[in-house]
Every structure is written in structure tokens, then in C-alpha cells.
Amino acid sequence: MTLPELYIIRHGETEWNRAARMQGGLDSALTELGRAQADQVAATLAGVIHPDTHDLWSSPQGRALATAEPISKVTGCPVVAVDGLREIHMGDWVGLSRSEIDAKWPAPSPDEHFIEFYRRAPNAESFPALWDRVGQVLDQIQRPTVIITHGFTSRFLRTRALGLSLDDIGQLDGGQGVIFRIKNGQHEIFEK
């Protein structure tokens, strides 16, 4: 599948990100830094994307919509909420801090990779389910699109858009306040 150019952005920092608390399907407000990150990515995309050439899609979750809003304001692109862009459901870990999780569900080894940490969340959305969900989103894209989503969903989306496999999801960098561009099968950080 050949995709149009994609700009994929994780929402700005939230109160729960700062507190190392699992949000999953829940939400917390953007911090001052998170609002600044949203404004910065909007400024970077100003003059680059336009309503006649680009779509602006967002997870329906509040932290993603709050990040999409300044982009919409400076570009004129209306925000379309897409349910398939919501964050992975964290099951029994939703709302818990990392220290609470570690106390009740200790890591099997001290050097556990963060991908494996997410994989073992009890009663959580499975990796294959998230993989299928982001695939359905990609199948709907018709033209260049800016996507505002979440950390884990972004990794799955970008990995799949690059034609990699589910086993490759740990290979791509993450980050807030970063615009990842996928164009002609290449993955890069976009800066104006």
C-alpha cells in the first residue's frame, strides 16, 4: 500500500505523563509544557498544510484534541475525530502510577524493554488488536494527513505505515513535541 504523506504527532505532555501515571482511555489535562508543545507543532505546520490539500485527524481523547486545536486554528484545517486513533487500553493498569504497577506486577527482569512492559498489562488491549485498528485507520487515508494521536498508538501507526511488522514496533523513536513525517516510505522528524 502506498500512502500519501503523513505527519504523525503525539499529544503534548499531560499531568499524568508528568506523574508517570497510565492514561490509556482516561484523560488528564495538558501541562503548561504540553500546551507549549501543541503551539510549537502548530507553528511548524503553519504554511505547510492547508485545508484544500491536507486532512487533520485526531484521536477523540481530550489530550489529543487539545493538541489538534492550535493546529486547526493556524492552518484552517478542520479537526476530524477518528476513534481508531485512541490510545491503547491499559486494562488493570489504567490510572495507576508506574510505582504502583511495579509494586503489584513486578517486572520479570530489571532490564525489561518498555514494549514488553506494555505487552504484559493485564486485561489490556492486545498488540494484534491495536495493530489491526491502526491498519483500518491507514486504509481510510485518501490524501496527505496530519494525525494527532498517543505515544503507543503512534508507534504502531508509524511502524505499519512504513511496511514493517508488529515485531518492529520498538525500533522507532517516540517523543512529545515532535512531528514525525512519513513520505515516500521514509521516516523522519519534520522541521520547517
List 13, 54, 87, 187, catalytic entry: 87
Active site residue 54: no
Catalytic-labelled residue, pool 11, 54, 150, 187: 11
Contact status, residue 154 vs residue 8, Cβ threshold 8 Å: yes
The partner residues of 9 in beta bridges, in order of sequence, read 148, 179
Cell numbers given for 33: 509544557
The whole-angstrom distance between residue 58's C-alpha and the CA centroid of its chain comes to 9
How many angstroms separate the CA atoms of 74 and 49, rounded?
Answer: 10
For β-strands 186-189 and 179-183, DSSP reports them as antiparallel
Is 150 part of the annotated catalytic residue set? Answer: no
Cβ neighbours, 10 Å, residue 44: 20
Runs of H (alpha helix) within the chain: 15-18, 32-45, 62-75, 98-104, 114-119, 127-140, 151-161
Using CA atoms, how far apart are residues 68 and 78, in angstroms rounded to an integer? 9
Output the nine-digit C-alpha cell for 12. Answer: 503534548
Any idea which residues carry the catalytic annotation?
11, 87
